[in-house]
Structure 1
Amino acid sequence: MLTAFLSNKEPTFKLTLDKKNTASYSIFIFCGCLSALVSMEQGFSLLYTFHISLLILTMYYVSTIDNKKSVLFIIYALLITHTSLILICLLNIMFTLSEQQPLNPYIIYSGFINIRFFNQVQVFVLPFLVLLLKFKSIQRVVFTILFLNLLLIFIGQARGALLSFLAFSIFALALKTTLKKQVLIGLACFVLSCITFYALDSLNKGGAEILRTSTSGRIDLWFNTISSLSLKHLFIGNGPGVFEMSLGSSAPFSHPHNSLIEILNEWGLIALISILAVVCTTFKKAITHLKCHKKDIITESLFYSFAIGITYSLFSGVHVMPVSQTLLFIMWGLLLGRINKKNNQSLTINKYLKALIAILFIFAWCLYLQKAINIYNNIDPDKGYIYGPRFWSVGQRF
């Protein structure tokens, strides 16, 4: 982003975000800074706030990519990379069955300490696979990959991901766009993967039930978090990134597994209203665009990818895990670039202001990197690692 910013010789920059959205983002970050300053862990919280600021800037930059080939390149790169992981998981399923062992997600999801990291990336890929079902020449291959994705979600018992896929499918059918047939095929694939999961699980029963009645402590966590709110949360929160709560003797949760509750607790009500206003505006513009451009399947798939990520964030840590949160902002930026083509805002910056912005940005980034490395080096391996979502603290804070 900085390279593109400095290499632009023209004093005018085109932005795909209007002034209202920019003001909302500014209010959101400002509330985060205030919350960080009054938190018990100012350094960590300020770093986390700056991290979110970098993601928003990334979204700004990605929103300038309105070229169809560039957008498709990003989508295909994501699909190819993710499919390679799916094929590795397929081998693990085959080895597990040949050894007559139960379907253990921690073995099948090889290399992932927390299997939800894998599921949170999967949800962004599913709408693009539904999009590719439209091309008959590769329809069988895409159907197989979609089937394997859904089967792995069943094996991992990611009920939130399954619910998000169903919500996306119902929403897509309600919009009555050109992907209606492909969405129905996707739902058929969903049923087939469910039947296959139960069939494979019955061969070597491992006690895995996708329809288990427990909530993994999420509902208790949500109610406890909401009940702990005070009047100060109308304006500021406890500090971005510092959430921690234990239920009984269990290990502490490092986030409440709900994006709305987390923002309200850590950033405050004003910040929550600001970010919700921007998300709702994006949804409204995207739906209006799709109704006017019913054959724009690229924008439609980007919208569904963003929407399914937002939906899953209500049940899981999509918004805090490193890879999934980056994908969320990238999809958001790509979507804004597509729906705001005719509403670009021009911003004039002279060379002196450009130099000042670049210096401040580089200084802040270097400080951020130095502090992150320092925190990581101070972690004591003898105390064990808590595999939390704060990627540069490995779940530990100072």
Structure 2
Amino acid sequence: MTDVDVREAVTAAHRDEWARVVASLTRRFGDLDLAEDAAAEAFAVAVERWPSDGVPPNPGGWLTTTANRKAIDRIRREAKRDDKHEAARMLSGDDPPEQLGVVDDLRLRLIFTCCHPALAMESRVALTLRMVGGLTVPEIARAFLVQESATGQRITRAKAKIKAARIPYRVPSADDLPARVSGVLAVLYLVFNEGYLATSPDADPVRPHLTAEAIRLARLVRVLLPEDGEVAGLLALMLLTEARRTARVSTTGELVVLEQQDRGLWDRELIAEGHRLVRERLATGAAPGRYQLLAAINAVHTSARDARDTDWSQVVALYDQLVRLDRSPVVALNRAVAVAEVDGPEVALAAVAPLGEALDGYHAFHATRAELLRRLDRGTEAREAYDRAIALAGNTAETAYLTRRRDELG
């Protein structure tokens, strides 16, 4: 095995085992920062030793053992003399076996554990995305449309609160799940989005392993909470979005927008399952939540055999319901795209204009403006908007599409 192969093996182990190692150490030592530091040291040792020693048969076990030793070394170095007896107790190996609780899947169990209701929603989601979801700080920052420094501070504050408030790292019981599920759904949705259209220029435009994992975990959450409408809504939304993935990027690596996609490439089984979930929720007569409305919007799009058959009036009506629940500028921007198909680009552009202050750093805002200005034959302004969108876009397929659209202006 070459050095390159070994480093790739370590990277793969990092993706698969990082959360497990950190969780194991946190349970044992009760200190999240210590757990992360020790895990990082273990992976550094792996990169150093595996090229000469070879990758062990059980990389995860090797990493956990090494990380435990690193944590022990740190405790012995840093703890005061009176604390050593407590450290020795923790290292005795007499810990009772971990209680798995109601959530059998390891990764989902970690997500529910991290999404503690004592933390603010944005903090618990950011922390969980970093520790368990495998997203980087820049990816999380782009998901929240905030600066990387703000995201890093949010994660740091969440860790500090866990330590200061002595929030227990405890596997949630069945009674805990309803209070934590909203954070869990937010984590799964953001992981899915990062897989469906990556935000980093260094990543593949589409990352199917992330979308597949998000869908897998959403299915498990639905088994745990079968009556929760938002769980069903998120699963339906993911299925209807994932169904279009194979038509999303052209063979030349360029983004293919919805109206130009080859609908014969869409996965009809996923669409049928997504539609069934949407109908089941409508049949309950309960007021739909955010994910259910987004799923219904996607159901309208995937019901049309041709883009020209899309019922845009229904899409706008659904967005009207959504903005009453979620007043975020991104929802308002997406609504304006639908308004353009019903009332024309000039009306939509007027709706987009007030969003500039909040969304100036969001590439989709400028891309939407560019398309609307293009339809109004305002070429110079459209070109400027395309330039701004290209500068902000991270996804290489999206950048290629926007560049072509700009260059077509002449």
With the shorter chain as reference, the TM-score category is under 0.3
Which structure would you say has the larger RCO, counting Cα contacts within 8 Å and 6 or more residues apart?
A: 1
Task: Give TM-score scaled by structure 1 length.
Answer: 0.20
Task: Give TM-score scaled by structure 2 length.
Answer: 0.20
- Tell me which structure has the larger Cα radius of gyration: 2
Point out the structure with the larger helix share: 2
